Amino acid sequence: MRSETMLESFKISLIIGLLATVLALLVGVPASYALARYSVKGKNLIKSFFLSPTVIPGIVVGYTLFQFIVVALGLPVFQGLLIGHFLISLPYIIRVVGSSMDQLDYSIEEVAWTLGCTRFRAFMQIVLPNVSSGIFAAFMLAFVNSFNNVPVSMFLSGPGVTMLPTSLLSYMEYNYDPTVSAISVMLMLLTIGLMYLIEKTLGLASIA
């Protein structure tokens, strides 16, 4: 029974993490492009707003999302978790992809325009391939943050829908056996492996 509970929590964490990260990419990549490509009034303020969840303590973010998603909107647990993890994943997408966008020479995109390429096609075939390593690194970093997040998961979890970190903490309240240690080591190795891939694709210095 305990193994089944942990396995179900792992599946939920995996699904929520992947969906939230993909949604964050769909919103964050165009937003990063707009912020880097165009002179927008209040650009620094907009960037600060997008990055605020990484500065505000996690417990505050979790409680705020609980008040807004659960209390005010009354959304189901799964949808609430998805929205919450989307919001905490978005800043990592903006930060990492935005860094790659800032380093891109946009004259190659303008050349594509002069050769008859539409803006959308130029974005898909010129811009995205040149920042693909940043998108890949952003995806992994945001996914790791979502999968391992504790405060938001604790506030937004509910009956039958519990993330793995929350399940581990609840289990440790009454038990402590090799199961917790084994899962912790697996999560640590997963995180180390993903961070290694980030370092090889983009470099950790560029996201610091």
Distances (CA, A) of 47 to 82, 179, 197: 22, 41, 26
Question: How large is the average pLDDT for residues 41-45?
Answer: 74
pTM for the model stands at 0.79
In whole angstroms, what is the distance from residue 47 CA to residue 50 CA?
A: 5
* Coil/strand/helix, residue 57: coil
Q: What's the rounded Cα separation, in Å, for the pair 171 and 174?
A: 6
Instruction: Please state, for a pLDDT cut of 70, what percent of the chain lies above it.
Output: 88
- Distance separating alpha carbons of residues 45 and 56, to the nearest angstrom: 16
Tens-digit pLDDT profile for residues 118-152: 888 888 888 888 888 888 888 888 888 888 888 88
Q: What percent of the chain has pLDDT over 90?
A: 8
DSSP assigned state of 206: G
Mean pLDDT of 62-86: 84
For 170-174, the CB contacts below 8 A with 24+ separation are 171/2, 171/6
* 1-202 topology per CATH: MetI-like fold (1.10.3720)
Element (H, E) at 138: helix 132-148
